[in-house]
Amino acid sequence: METLEVNLEEQFQTRIDADVRIEPKDWMPDAYRKTLIRQISQHAHSELVGMLPEGNWITRAPSLKRKAILLAKVQDEAGHGLYLYSAAETLGATRDQMLADLHSGKAKYSSIFNYPTLSWADMGTIGWLVDGAAILNQVPLCRTSYGPYARAMVRVCKEESFHQRQGFEIMQTLCEGAPEQKQMAQDALNRWWWPTLMMFGPKDADSPNTEQSMKWRIKRFTNDELRQKFVDMMVPQAEFLGLTVPDPELKWNEAKQGYDFGDVNWQEFWDVVKGNGPCNHERLQARVDAWEDGAWVREAALAHAEKRKQRAGTAAA
């Protein structure tokens, strides 16, 4: 028994090393399954909770075109949530259980959504920076070892890059507009820059699971590597917009062909992770309220489907 398990595990790792996709019916180590369920459901929850900060501006979007683009974007995020919950279900998780874990606070979602959206420029900044960071995190996952997850990520990534371009375009319009508009854009960048850097997670030294996840190819770059890529990608874009990145230590390093940058406020990072960010309470409460207020609707749909089934049964008999 013992040796059989060891062999399966070795074969599994050999397949991963050869970049062969793992599919739902294949044997997989328990820890791989559990880690993936945690990672995918956390991502699904992020899409779901992520609808709230941007949803906050749909009714106040400044033009009909912007309103349509924003609503379509938030709708896309709901769609991402659906694909991801479905991917997690292929591993044996149920959506009800995943949502129960979100609502109880047991499951996490991306901390970035625990910050408030205070001006229209936040819609630009979120698309530009937050979707930008999501892309860096997620593009490598299109080649992740678990088939359904990789396929979901291909669809998601296409839409995320669209969101990023739209966000950048909002910023560009603001930066080319009146002084108040440019000021609005700068203020948004000041508030979102550091929280976005936190999206890549703790420093490698404080990220004990990274090594195993990389071995399983459900993570393909370390947190610090991705953070560096992000800074290197975004600083020139900020310069193009004429905005100032709020980091006095930011400096081009010719030798490493990348930017040196200041340290994230890790105390704030852990505060938000532990539930003490500015909007943790509101975001979770909004999700719990929607779920509880919707209970009677879901019950009615089930009850009606049941009645139909019975009637069909009676008719057939």
Partner 1 sequence: MYASTDSISLPDVTPELRQQLFSYVLQLADTSLILAHRISEWCGHGPVLEQDLAMANISLDLLGEARSYYQYAAELEGQGRTEDDLAYLRPAVEYRNPLLVEQPNGDFAHTILRQFLYDCFHYHLLVQLQAGPDRHLAAIAEKSVKEAAYHIKWSSEWVIRLGDGTDESRRRLEKAIGSLWRYRGELTTPTTTEQTLQAAGFVPDYAAIQQQIDAHVARVFEEATLPVPQGVFMQKGGKDGRHSEHLGYLLAELQYMQRAYPGMKW
CA angle 148, 153, 154 (to 5 degrees): 100
Q: Least CB distance from residue 310 to partner 1, whole Å? A: 12
* Rounded Cα gap, residues 108 and 42, in angstroms: 6
- Restricted to residues 135-174, the positions that interact with partner 1 (CB under 8 A) are 170, 173-174
Q: Do residues 47 and 59 make contact, with C-beta atoms less than 8 angstroms apart?
A: no
b (16+ CB within 10 A) / e for 209-219: ebeebeebbbb
Q: Which is nearer to partner 1, 31 or 301 (CB)?
A: 301
Q: Which is nearer to partner 1, 13 or 172 (CB)?
A: 172
Asked if 282 touches partner 1 (CB under 8 A), the answer is: no
What is the x/- site pattern for partner 1, positions 101-130, by CB under 8 A?
Answer: -------------------x----------
In one letter, which amino acid is 75? Q
Q: Which residues contact 157 (CB under 8 A, 6 or more apart)?
A: 135, 138, 139, 142
Asked if 207 touches partner 1 (CB under 8 A), the answer is: no
Q: Least CB distance from residue 184 to partner 1, whole Å? A: 9
Cα–Cα distance list, 166 to 42, 183, 311 (Å) = 25, 19, 50
Asked if 45 touches Fe ion (CB under 5 A), the answer is: no
A 10 A CB-CB count for 82 gives 14
Element (H, E) at 260: strand 258-260
Identified binder of partner 1 from the candidate list 9, 21, 29, 79, rule CB under 8 A: 79
Tokens of residue 283, six digits? 């975001």
Identified binder of partner 1 from the candidate list 208, 249, 263, 296, rule CB under 8 A: 296
Q: Which is nearer to partner 1, 95 or 229 (CB)?
A: 95
Quick one: what does residue 17 bind among partner 1, Fe ion, none, with the CB cut-off 5 to 8 Å set by partner type?
none
Asked if 101 touches Fe ion (CB under 5 A), the answer is: no
Give the footprint of Fe ion on this chain (CB under 5 A): 47, 77, 80, 131, 134, 160, 163
